[in-house]
Amino acid sequence: MEYRRARTSGGTYFFTVVTHNRQDILCLPENVPVLREAFHYTRNRHPFVMDAVVILPDHLHCVWTLPTDDADYSTRWRLIKSFFSRRCAHVTNKLVSASRHGKHETTVWQRRFWEHQIRDETDYERHLDYIHYNPVKHGLAAAPKDWPYSSFHRYVEASRYPSDWGSLEPVDIPDDIGSE
């Protein structure tokens, strides 16, 4: 079966990217700045707007908006993953060594990523909620405000969420969000 990706220039996309074998390496103190640098490096070469992001120990979610004349998010992800992989291998010994196509290489990421093209404003808002509530869903924080690796704090500063959002009662996220 051939997998077809949605590609619309200037589109807004939700992504899920997972580490190989769900290794808990992304939130290690020495790896967080490397991941930030990977995004910065890539955005300087292939601009995009990072609408929202959450970094969890073994995966990340984000929403990007691409430039109006560009639909190539795959190149961006390739650059981010390879930048992080090259530098991460020097700062952590938790990486898995694997053999692919007869080559011995360090494996940091699952080979693919999952994307969903945002359809409308409601879909956009639901995916933002999914991203920002994800640390609570995974039991990593009691409330979104307690998780440091999230754009939630930027949204609170911009008055798009109250600071106690998701802390007083569970947030109802539709089952099809994040796993369409």
- Taking only the tens place, the pLDDT of each residue in 28-62 is 999 999 999 999 999 999 999 999 999 999 999 99
Q: Which of 53, 40, 32 is nearest to 144 (CA)?
A: 53
Which positions are annotated as active-site residues? 149
Topology of domain 12-120, CATH = Alpha-Beta Plaits (3.30.70)
pTM for this predicted structure: 0.88
3-state secondary structure of 19: strand
pLDDT at 89: 56
Residue 4: band (very low, low, confident or very high) from pLDDT cuts 50, 70, 90? low
pLDDT at 106: 59
- Taking only the tens place, the pLDDT of each residue in 56-81 is 999 999 999 999 999 999 999 999 99
Q: Give the CA angle between residues 84, 86, 88 to the nearest 5°.
A: 60
Alpha-carbon span 63 to 129, nearest angstrom: 11
Q: Give the CA angle between residues 80, 85, 51 to the nearest 5°.
A: 25
Domain boundaries, the chain: 12-120
C-beta neighbour count of 93 within 10 angstroms: 5
